[in-house]
Chains A and B, each alone.
Chain A
Amino acid sequence: MKLSFALLTAIGLSGFVQFTHAADITGTVTLSGTPPAEIEIKPLENDPVCGKMHSGKVTTEFYVVGANKGLADAIVMLKGVKAAPASASAAPVVLDQKGCLYVPQIVAIQTGQKLVVKNSDPSTVPMHNVHINPKAGANLSEYSTKISQPQMSGAADLDYSFSAPENFMKFQCDVHPWMFAWVTVVDNPYFAVTDKDGKFTIKNVPPGKYKIVALHRKASPDGVEKDVDVKDSGATADFTLEIK
């Protein structure tokens, strides 16, 4: 009984210690400058099958700018943090093919984390073709025989997991050449994708000083870097990406 009590206390304390030694980094990524106008994806609208799945105009989504110029779909990540790859049991990230578009178009995963590519399109779309474009040597060699994989309507999900970090790995569908998604593979668990208002939260960061970087596939593919000092209470890091 005493042993059980001691054990429970120890577990409780360790949880508390962990809780007090992990904080969140929050912030906003905003866009400075005027982005170019998005354009209608005419090939999709004119496609006899895919076009019927959309009632209005379908446009590209390179710059999704929300309230107060908040920039969606930017990746924010800590840099130079040593961390083990995600375990096999880590929650997978889902990339869906819906209405002949990838949803979402910007995804971030950790090295070793599973990425599940689904095909939710009806049988009227006979197939998609998931064509990945890894650049990092390890990712390329791991998938050298699976660069392009067909995924028929109703077929099983395709699972991916990458061992090397890489920014904006392009996923495309060769059957529907307007379909793209960009997957960023991060070598630590401290990253986030900004929401429609450009806001992000990186959870459970141990206190300390870090380099933090914000990237956007168009406005700043190489990223803007700054220092962040994470206290027990957390930290804030705001970025302004400039379109020149």
Chain B
Amino acid sequence: MTQPSHNRWLHRFAVLTALATLALIGIGGLVTSHEAGMSVPDWPNSYGYNMFLFPPSKWVGGILYEHTHRLWASMVGLLVIALTRWLGGRASRKPLAIVGLVEVLAGLVIFAVLPHEKATGGFLTGIGGMVLLAALVWFRNEAAPSPLPQLGWLTFFIVQFQGLLGGLRVVLFKDQIGIFHATLAQIFFVLTCLIALMASAWWSRMANTPHATRHTQPSLLSSFSNLQKVIFATTALILFQLILGATMRHQHAGLSIRDFPLAYGRLWPATDPASLAHYNAHRIEITAIKPVTAFQIQLQMVHRIVAMLILLAVGWCALKAWRKFPGPLAKISAFWFCLILCQATLGAATVLTDKAADIATLHVLVGALSLATGAALSIIALRFPQRAAGVSPAEAVSKRQPAMDLDGVADMGTAGKMPSAR
């Protein structure tokens, strides 16, 4: 990982891409909250129209959400193609040209050989055309420092795969694809946020600032190592929680438990056949009217338990960072904790408002922000442990204890093992 130099406009463009992706996740949340995922039954066409020429007069009911999601996703795709070109510099032109050409040719072949898939062929040709256009852009800019070009390529391939998944979800009627589509969206958002972070002036400053001190007390070292581990584990737990959430949303069964903090009036609800029959006989739903199953009830219970674990873990991180590491780590951890508090409140509100679409969508959005914040914190703690922790020279090692380097924690990644002094 080399130290990036800062390009203000590249950073702004990366932020724009990340914000557009967050908005796309929000629109996707509206699609599922309004049970509108299948309101446009064909893809890549919309009711036989070219997606971009579908008349606004027909954007009614659930179509408004689903069609907006498709158009916005196309725009994010274009932003990512441009970002990949910008991050990769002139060196990216050749691979972009190859990918674009392959897509154009594949699209033309599909168009010519498969008469029922003409729309798919046309769509692929269109994407390939945009990639080719990016390759033809003459700017001879240098590539951004590593790993930004690589991250750019990763988002480039994910966004195209993600578009394909969204389309397959519609034409194959598979909820499982929807779960994967929603999870990949969160990972994609994290990547765009990390690109924006690494392309920022702040990152550049952190990378170019010399260590404040190279020697830290062993107790502080151990404490930081523990904090690092909890941050990593909690971020992974948030991703797991988002997968659970996506699975719950794509069951299309509404709220499987409709009270909070109890569940059907108990700490742990009964899920025997008689109880399920009782729950279903008393459920009155407007849109998601599938009968609930034991699996769905248990899924929501696990979601609640994991939410509590995340709240405790992030609270611990924030407290620990605030007390011992008064640098950026403390500030970002405090922000993270606020997000998680907000998210827990939204989770409760989702149940108490009977899954109101706007509340449920906000819950999805804050979930995405929580994951991105955890990922950013993890990267910062790993890349700039000493500077992120804000360790000052006053905390330098006492004469009675062996010297250690806090940045060595990142290299070792193991608490209790002492990296050798440099």
A interface vs B, CB < 8 Å? 36-39, 41-43, 47, 49-50, 60, 62, 125-127, 129, 131, 147-150, 170, 173-178, 180, 218-219, 221, 243-244
Contact = CB atoms under 8 A, between A and B. Distances in A.
B222 interface: no
B284 A175 contact: no
Interface in B257-299: 274, 277-278, 280-287, 289, 291
Given A60-B286, A127-B47, A177-B61, A218 B41 contact: no
Contact of B278 (A43, A60, A148, A244): A244
Contact of A218 (B35, B281, B287): B281
B188 to A, nearest CB: 26
A217 B349 CA distance: 30
A218 B285 CA distance: 11
Contacts of B277: 244
Nearest to B35: A177
Interface residues of B: mostly helix, strand, loop or mixed?
Answer: loop
Nearest to B277: A244
A36 B284 CA distance: 7
Contact of A148 (B41, B60, B289): B41
Interface in B8-37: 34-37
12 contacts: A39-B286, A43-B34, A60-B286, A127-B60, A131-B41, A174-B38, A176-B62, A177-B35, A177-B39, A221-B291, A243-B281, A244-B281
A55 to B, nearest CB: 19
Interface of B: 34-39, 41, 47, 57-58, 60-63, 173, 274, 277-278, 280-287, 289, 291
Contact of B38 (A36, A50, A131, A219): A131
Contacts of A62: 284
Contacts of A43: 34, 286-287
A2 to B, nearest CB: 65
A174 B278 contact: no
Given A41-B286, A43-B286, A219-B281, A125 B60 contact: yes
Most buried by B among A39, A126, A147, A219: A126
A212 B140 CA distance: 80
A174 B41 contact: yes
A177 B287 contact: yes
Nearest to A131: B38
Given A60-B286, A178-B286, A221-B291, A126 B58 contact: yes
Contacts of B281: 218-219, 243-244
Given A36-B282, A129-B39, A150-B47, A174 B62 contact: yes
List the 6 closest pairs (A to B, CB-CB), nearest first.
A148-B41, A177-B35, A175-B61, A174-B38, A174-B39, A177-B287
A37 B286 contact: no
B29 to A, nearest CB: 15
B133 to A, nearest CB: 33
Given A127-B47, A221-B291, A175 B39 contact: yes
A148 B38 contact: yes
A219 B278 CA distance: 9
B173 A175 contact: no
A206 B7 CA distance: 87
A197 to B, nearest CB: 21
Contacts of A178: 286-287
Nearest to A41: B286
A39 B35 CA distance: 18
Contact of B284 (A60, A129, A173): A60
A38 B36 contact: no
B28 to A, nearest CB: 16
B38 A218 contact: no
Given A129-B38, A174-B36, A219-B281, 12 more contacts: A36-B282, A43-B286, A47-B61, A49-B60, A50-B61, A60-B284, A174-B41, A174-B62, A218-B280, A243-B281, A244-B278, A244-B281
B167 to A, nearest CB: 14
Contact of B36 (A37, A177, A180): A177
A126 B38 contact: no
